[in-house]
């Protein structure tokens, strides 16, 4: 039976929580709250934290998993990797330098074109669980439903508006005139950028 035949292709299945293995629950809790992840209300044997703007949370606690502490790896998507890395460093987190993927593999520094998915940096929690920052401003086609545009936080929306503002400035240079209908242009740009479809000119 195919996915279309079973109907599962139309069933919402949202990843809500990822369990990570830690050796010291209180130490891990202090680390994650220290980098600004929200401490959620849970039963006493579970610690759940949610990064700002994230629809997915992490959990840890005694006997939640048999995995070896430090064996987890996850990706944290950000819209400005330089600002995020600087904030984490200021919070006392040991960060890698920013790197990007070139033709020959990883290379130091930001992706020259700030292409989504290319610029990255890493850090680990006290147990060694690895987190990889990844700068994403435009999703690959099909990753986001073009009919549903949403922003996870005020800062994400503000960053999208700033990018639209820069692009709109280039648009007005090309047309040679002020665009009185800029709100609609901004909207079309922001929707297309998030969905990974063709951007307006």
At 65 the three-state DSSP class reads coil
How far is residue 47's CA from residue 61's CA, in Å, rounded to a whole number?
6
State mean pLDDT over 126-130. Answer: 98
Question: pTM for the whole thing?
Answer: 0.72
- Its CATH class, for the domain covering 3-135, is alpha beta
- Kind of pairing between the strands at 47-50 and 57-60: antiparallel
pLDDT digits (tens, 9 = 90+) for 31-81: 999 999 999 999 999 999 999 988 899 999 998 999 999 999 999 999 899
Distance in angstroms (rounded) separating the CA atoms of residues 146 and 167: 20
Kindly report, as residue ranges, where domains of CATH 3.10.180.10 are found in the chain: 3-135
CA atoms within 13 A on the CB side of 20: 28
Q: Round to whole Å and give the CA distance between 50 and 39.
A: 7
How much is the CA Rg of the chain, to the nearest whole Å?
Answer: 20
Question: Using an 8 Å Cβ cutoff, are 129 and 20 in contact?
Answer: yes
């Amino acid at each position: 039976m195919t996915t279309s035949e079973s109907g599962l292709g139309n069933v919402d299945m949202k990843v809500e929580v990822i369990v990570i293995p830690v050796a010291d629950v209180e130490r891990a809790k202090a680390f994650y709250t220290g980098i600004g992840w929200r401490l959620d209300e849970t039963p006493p044997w579970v610690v759940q934290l949610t990064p700002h703007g994230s629809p997915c949370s992490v959990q840890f606690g005694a006997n939640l998993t048999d995995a070896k502490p430090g064996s987890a790896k996850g990706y944290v998507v950000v819209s400005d990797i330089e600002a995020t890395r600087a904030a984490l460093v200021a919070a006392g987190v040991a960060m890698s330098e920013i790197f990007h993927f070139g033709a020959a593999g990883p290379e130091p520094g930001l992706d020259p074109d700030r292409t989504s998915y290319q610029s990255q940096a890493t850090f680990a929690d006290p147990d060694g669980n690895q987190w990889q920052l990844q700068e994403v401003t435009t999703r690959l086609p099909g990753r986001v439903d073009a009919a549903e545009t949403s922003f996870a936080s005020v800062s994400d929306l503000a960053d999208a508006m700033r990018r639209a503002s820069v692009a709109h400035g280039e648009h007005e240079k090309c047309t040679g005139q002020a665009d009185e209908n800029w709100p609609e242009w901004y909207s079309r740009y922001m929707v297309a950028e998030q969905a990974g479809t063709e951007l307006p000119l």
